[in-house]
Structure 1
Amino acid sequence: MTEAAATGTLEQALAHAARLLERDPTLAAEQLGEILQVAPGHAPALQLLAAARLLLGDLSGALAILVPLAQARPEWAAIHLDLGLALARGGRGQEAIAALRRAVALQPGLPQAWRALGDCLMAAGEQEAADAAYASHVRHSTRDPQLLDAAVALVENRIPEAEALLRAQLKRAPTDVAAIRMFAEVAARLGRNEDALNLLERCLELAPGFREARRNYALVLHRSNRPEQALAEIERLLAADPADVGCRNLKAVVLCRVGDYEPAIRIYAELLESYPDTPKLWVSYGHALKTAGHLERAIAAYRRSLELEPSFGEVWWSLANLKTFRFGADELAAMRAQLARADLAGDDRLHLEFAVGKALEDAGEYGPSFRHYAQGNAIRRTQLDYSADDTSARVRYIRGRYTREFFVARAGSGCPAPDPIFVVGLPRAGSTLVEQILSSHSQVEGTMELPEVTSITRLLRQQGDADEVMPYHAALAALDAAALRALGERYLAHTRIQRKTAAPLFIDKMPNNFMHVGLIQLMLPNAKIIDARRHPMACGFSAFKQHFARGQGFSYDLADIGRYYRDYVALMAHFDAVLPGRVHRVVYERMVEDTEGEVRRLLDYCGLPFEAACLRFFENTRPVRTASSEQVRQPIYREGVDHWRHYAAWLEPLVSALGPVLESYPEAPEGM
């Protein structure tokens, strides 16, 4: 037989084995074994044999072929794809990511590799990288030239161009589900989550089996503060593929959002078996453990993350942010060594500045500590578009709009349910302590800083006239009694998932809701509102040395903090005047000096009988999701009241900005 004939016969045998794979993998494996006896080491035959073994459930047998084959053929993209898929199936997530990255580096036009890479990255907690991989999957899975151009624009973050191309495509083909899904991604990137949800709902109506669209739908639901619906979509995805690691990670994230920490912790622990060398996954695990009160396990998780990535600033700050944790000398040296690196990423540097500031504060080195805090704040301030003038203008507008007559005209409106207790004020003012005390009462459940009021303000803003100075407030003022009642009922319905017990009352501890007292009064007139107030120097400096995960843009400049505190005092004084007795104020220093007396007054305001458990709040084991989580698991201590004085020499900008508010504390200045 000639060489050409032998080659032809071999190709025919391989083609026949490939056809056998799906309908009879056992027979295919037998034929491939025969081929390999004739042609030992034949790479395409080995690839097919590995595929046959996978279909037969022999994962270890498939990997025994794929691992050495990938080593022998480092330039062969398809074999790295197969290896990545097999490793992912075997729970070897980190190795799978490496193999899939190799595959797409060798051959970028492999849509299956991009999608699998996105799944693995999502499971590993690498959300941004996963989003980029999914975008590349869209780009490389389409053959339509119009969609291809839009996909390229989307991958390269040329959003206006992508939007224009997709609008044109959907005008031509309104039922193009791939285009609808991509248009939803554009809407999500522009922050138009409602539009994204509507588009994805239409996409799934046309193509219920479009798995990637359903995954996007679940993610946007989560980001839109609709955790119950997000979980329903995630469960639907997992019912079809229980091993979907990306969906399992998203489920853990959403479970943490709704306060179901123990099942989330179990999911993270399982994912870490497959992705043991993933720093971000260890951080997510540590956050869940910390909030659930498993402090030692959380510290161990954070330290494991740092072993894998010593420059990971967020982890150093997570340790510092435990408040009761103390760094050792070797850990301080390690942080300083990272800060000395010229190639340190900006986000890592930001977090490390705050962490080193905390370590030096604990060591009593207040001057160097302040310098690190100031540097961390300066870095963060450049990243934000915060305007103290805008905040002051908003407060002036609210004070002018929400008058006594305004509320009298709307008396009797809203939902009469008394369930929520809103704890408002500034961050680091003692609101977590108030929450912990109240949630120790048998009739009160603590939840978290709920984002629902903010979601409602966003909804009203969209309904308002864009030409209005403050469209949210204008839209709210235009609502009738039925619409205001509907808002209150919406609030209760959307927060129901956060309530785990039969307690009749629950706490919403979003401090920034002090800006929305008017809305709360109109939609939930029988809800309680508690203003947690702390000395402006103690509160202001505590905010300055705290790096918040999100929001609180005012807190990264001492003058901005002082002005924000003044605006807060002015606004609360206004509501005290137009709604006398509506808001109960808890002054932190009074709570420290006369805990029982203040607790009794607090419970009286809430219409609750005194319970001794409220004085032993530190024994309450419920999850706490704020920077004070460890502090409120201890008895009240006085040391924190005047701690700011160690830094008094550097706080003149705060003093100047506070003006007369400082002298009049805890009352508002006359005439404010």
Structure 2
Amino acid sequence: MGRSQHDDPARAEREFSTALRAMERGDWSHAEKRLRRVAKAFPENAPVHFNLAVVLRQQNRHVAAVKQIQRMLDIDPTAYDGWLMLAENLVATGDVDAASNAVQRALTLQPDRFEAHLMLGQLSAEQLRWTDALMFFRNGLDKKPLDVNLTILLAQSLTALAQFDEALALLRGALDTQPNQVDLWLSTGEMLQHMGRIEEAVDIYRESLIQHPASGPLQLQLADCLSELQWPDEAKLLYEAVLQQTPGHPDALNNQALLAAAAGQNTQAESAFRALMVNHPDYGDPYRNLSVLKHFDSTADQDILAMRAALRRDHLSSPSRAALCFALGKALDDCGEYDEAFDYFRQANDERHKAVRFDIDRLARRFDDIEKHFDQTFFEDRARWGEVSRQPIFIIGLPRSGTTLLEQVLAAHPDVAAAGELRKITEISLWIAAHHSAGDPYPAGVSQLDAKTVKALAGRYLDELTQRVGEAKRVTDKMPMNFFHAGLIHLLFPEAAIIHCNRNPMDTALSIYCQHFPPGMDYAYRLEDIAAYYHRYVALMAHWRGVLGGALLEVDYEQLVSTPRETVGNLLESLGLVWSDACLAHHTQVGRVETLSLWQVRQPLNIRSIGRWRRYESQLQPLIEALGPSVAGT
């Protein structure tokens, strides 16, 4: 018989080298076989146990990996990388506390290395301990100042703590020294998107593409921003560029289909969403988008069955799980299965709520500042500043209050064009913020504007309308969240109509709760938060009624759909427009719709959504209590 490995170190060394080569090419089972032979022959060899743990981790056998790395640490308790490897596998088994202890051991051994600080920051962030995460990421970046990952994670922690300016300054500073890092450009753009500064994000992405003209991720983000800003033609070209580089890219295909849906190309959009559901069953967005696009009549619908099957899949991401639950909630609501529908809506909102941070106190301060600066004296001192133009018609209100429907009704009039949800007023408010150095930049900065500047800002807005719809006599801007900026709008256009859409608070709140929104709607995923937001919104609208007078028109959703001729007629008269029968047949000529109301606004005016909340009355008790009986109407 030949000698055993116990007597042949050279042979064991060859086995170890063969295992390492197998690891390099990803042949984990072969590597494990070789390493176990060596470990049996040399059980006190720490590197063998370490590499065996790596192999087991790569096969998602984390419990076994923990045992191997613990054997390695028994042999060499001073192994810094061993403690980090132990922590990584403990996290995978769900033992976060033990993982934190393991990283702390590594930090004690080598406090000047950055990896332990990085991992402790990541563990803190996963537990939403953002202050701790901030400290660890700062310490890590002190050890390795140019580390891109640490920079991005530190910026994300600052964002979670609402320290937006510091986060943005950190990323911009990193870009100045490392413009070759695509991830820094992406993170800076995404940060601006999260802050609602979409126009600045577009500028960042355009600049980044000068540095990295073939970057698919940067092209995709720019396309998404342009789509949100309602520049669909350029967005479409960018999605096509992404798909040329990466055929079948799911995000590009999904967002391209959304452009088709917005243009009313439903058949094309539905086909694209269904193809994505087949080819990417773990990707939740196509299911949700399809559910918004169609009406369901039966729980046996093949699309509903596909949604249920997808939700049963293992390893779904939280965003995909939320999207699928929103999709099923909407589909089952269509079918009249209200209890099951609400259960899915609750699951969807619970998933979304994990990822947001709603601060009612911060919101209240913002509302208070707006009311403080846009008071009666402010407008008396600036009477008839801006542009004396009635061309723009501003439609404001809470999301899901009927703004899209009213826009389409008015846009059916031969003298009215629809510009959609423009961000130009928000862009102007951000310009004011950027050009005001003292105190709170907006709304306080508005009081420092002179008449010439106000007129120039109004001119910028009118130029945007011309660029989008040409020389239309009247143009609607139905950005609902402009209710924040009604005072600024009145300053810019003292003769323009601002139409406020009212809807039953219970129906509005339920409709908000049943939707997935883009960033910025952090209050939308908890009934009590929706109620808190609603109370502040009602107070602000009462303030606007007091200071804007006849410039603020009111339209009740319930009256619009139940007595449309009278309601629309009165509104047209207030706008100085003659009656047009086309307004009552808006559904026959709907243009682009970029909102969640894709299906509804292409139907004739109807009262089906009035009192919808009563189907869910038992589940909405927390909302009723938070609103109060007098507001809820119960």
When the two structures are superposed, what TM-score results if normalisation uses the length of structure 1?
0.63
d(CA) in 2 for partners of 1:631, 1:399: 34
Distance change (3 Å), C-alpha of 1:180 and 1:460:
farther
d(CA) in 2 for partners of 1:485, 1:416: 9
Provide the residue aligned with 2:363 in structure 1.
391
Provide the residue aligned with 1:628 in structure 2.
597
Distance change (3 Å), C-alpha of 1:404 and 1:660:
farther
Task: State which of 393, 405, 413 in structure 2 corresponds to 1:421.
Answer: 393
Provide the residue aligned with 1:559 in structure 2.
528
Q: Percent identity?
A: 32
Mapped contact 2:296–2:335 kept (Cα < 8 A): no
Greater shift after overlay, 550-559 or 316-325? Answer: 316-325
The reply to whether residue 289 of structure 1 matches residue 264 of structure 2 is no
d(CA) in 2 for partners of 1:253, 1:552: 18
| 1:182 Cα deviation from its structure 2 partner | 5.7
The reply to whether residue 525 of structure 1 matches residue 494 of structure 2 is yes
Greater shift after overlay, 446-455 or 386-395? Answer: 386-395
d(CA) in 1 for partners of 2:530, 2:288: 21
Mapped contact 1:449–1:509 kept (Cα < 8 A): yes
The reply to whether residue 319 of structure 1 matches residue 319 of structure 2 is no
Deviations 1:181-231 (A, max 9, x none): 36998587457999x9xxxxxxxxxxxxxxxxxxxxxxx99942687x899
Q: SS of the residue aligned with 2:533?
A: helix
d(CA) in 1 for partners of 2:155, 2:633: 51
Deviations 1:379-399 (A, max 9, x none): 212211112233233333333
Mapped contact 2:284–2:320 kept (Cα < 8 A): yes
Q: SS of the residue aligned with 2:370?
A: helix
User: Which letter does structure 2 place at the counterpart of 1:541?
Assistant: L
d(CA) in 1 for partners of 2:528, 2:337: 24
Q: SS of the residue aligned with 1:445?
A: strand
Deviations 1:235-279 (A, max 9, x none): 9999xx9x9978876786566456454675577568657754332
Mapped contact 1:533–1:585 kept (Cα < 8 A): yes
User: Which letter does structure 1 place at the counterpart of 2:377?
Assistant: E
d(CA) in 1 for partners of 2:625, 2:553: 28
Provide the residue aligned with 1:153 in structure 2.
148
d(CA) in 2 for partners of 1:522, 1:278: 45
1:95-174 superposed matches below 5 A:
152-153=147-148, 157=152
d(CA) in 2 for partners of 1:340, 1:232: 40
The reply to whether residue 584 of structure 1 matches residue 573 of structure 2 is no
d(CA) in 1 for partners of 2:318, 2:367: 34
Mapped contact 2:197–2:427 kept (Cα < 8 A): no
User: Which letter does structure 1 place at the counterpart of 2:199?
Assistant: S
User: Which letter does structure 2 place at the counterpart of 1:602?
Assistant: L
The reply to whether residue 444 of structure 1 matches residue 442 of structure 2 is no
Deviations 1:320-344 (A, max 9, x none): 1225356744433433333334421
Provide the residue aligned with 1:653 in structure 2.
622
d(CA) in 1 for partners of 2:442, 2:150: 34
1:173-322 superposed matches below 5 A:
179=177, 181=179, 189=187, 223-224=198-199, 253=224, 256-257=227-228, 259=230, 261=232, 268=239, 272=243, 275-322=246-293
Mapped contact 1:225–1:455 kept (Cα < 8 A): no
d(CA) in 2 for partners of 1:264, 1:253: 7
Provide the residue aligned with 1:486 in structure 2.
456
| 1:408 Cα deviation from its structure 2 partner | 0.6
The reply to whether residue 476 of structure 1 matches residue 446 of structure 2 is yes
Greater shift after overlay, 262-271 or 613-622? Answer: 262-271
Deviations 1:619-638 (A, max 9, x none): 12411101112211110111
d(CA) in 2 for partners of 1:336, 1:368: 12
User: Which letter does structure 2 place at the counterpart of 1:605?
Assistant: S
Provide the residue aligned with 2:519 in structure 1.
550
| 1:644 Cα deviation from its structure 2 partner | 1.7
User: Which letter does structure 2 place at the counterpart of 1:455?
Assistant: E
Deviations 1:67-87 (A, max 9, x none): xxxxxxx99xxxxxxxxxxxx
d(CA) in 2 for partners of 1:247, 1:389: 35
Deviations 1:367-415 (A, max 9, x none): 1211111121122122111122332333333334322222111112223
Mapped contact 1:323–1:631 kept (Cα < 8 A): no
Distance change (3 Å), C-alpha of 1:178 and 1:565:
closer
The reply to whether residue 574 of structure 1 matches residue 543 of structure 2 is yes
Q: SS of the residue aligned with 2:443?
A: helix
Runs of at least 5 residues in structure 1 that lack an aligned partner in the other structure:
1-73, 76-148, 197-219, 666-672
Provide the residue aligned with 1:46 in structure 2.
none
User: Which letter does structure 2 place at the counterpart of 1:308?
Assistant: N
Task: State which of 394, 397, 411 in structure 1 corresponds to 2:383.
Answer: 411
Deviations 1:89-131 (A, max 9, x none): xxxxxxxxxxxxxxxxxxxxxxxxxxxxxxxxxxxxxxxxxxx
User: Which letter does structure 2 place at the counterpart of 1:287?
Assistant: L
Provide the residue aligned with 2:119 in structure 1.
none
d(CA) in 1 for partners of 2:421, 2:255: 19
Distance change (3 Å), C-alpha of 1:413 and 1:664:
farther
d(CA) in 1 for partners of 2:223, 2:407: 25
| 1:458 Cα deviation from its structure 2 partner | 2.4
Distance change (3 Å), C-alpha of 1:193 and 1:273:
closer
Provide the residue aligned with 1:458 in structure 2.
430
Provide the residue aligned with 1:113 in structure 2.
none
1:330-345 superposed matches below 5 A:
330-345=302-317
Q: SS of the residue aligned with 1:471?
A: coil
Task: State which of 571, 574, 584 in structure 2 corresponds to 1:602.
Answer: 571
The reply to whether residue 346 of structure 1 matches residue 284 of structure 2 is no
User: Which letter does structure 2 place at the counterpart of 1:487?
Assistant: L
Runs of at least 5 residues in structure 2 that lack an aligned partner in the other structure:
1-24, 27-143, 157-164
d(CA) in 2 for partners of 1:511, 1:619: 24
Distance change (3 Å), C-alpha of 1:297 and 1:580:
same
The reply to whether residue 370 of structure 1 matches residue 368 of structure 2 is no
**Number of aligned residue pairs:** 483
Distance change (3 Å), C-alpha of 1:632 and 1:350:
same
| 1:556 Cα deviation from its structure 2 partner | 1.1
d(CA) in 2 for partners of 1:271, 1:301: 16
| 1:436 Cα deviation from its structure 2 partner | 0.3
When the two structures are superposed, what TM-score results if normalisation uses the length of structure 2?
0.67
d(CA) in 1 for partners of 2:320, 2:206: 35
Provide the residue aligned with 1:435 in structure 2.
407
Mapped contact 2:562–2:606 kept (Cα < 8 A): no
Distance change (3 Å), C-alpha of 1:385 and 1:193:
closer
- Calculate the aligned-residue CA RMSD, in Å: 4.1
Mapped contact 2:186–2:218 kept (Cα < 8 A): no
| 1:296 Cα deviation from its structure 2 partner | 1.0
Q: SS of the residue aligned with 1:344?
A: coil
d(CA) in 2 for partners of 1:270, 1:413: 45
d(CA) in 2 for partners of 1:160, 1:271: 27
Task: State which of 566, 582, 585 in structure 2 corresponds to 1:613.
Answer: 582
d(CA) in 1 for partners of 2:416, 2:308: 45
d(CA) in 1 for partners of 2:155, 2:274: 43
Mapped contact 2:209–2:219 kept (Cα < 8 A): no
d(CA) in 2 for partners of 1:613, 1:188: 45
Distance change (3 Å), C-alpha of 1:325 and 1:336:
closer
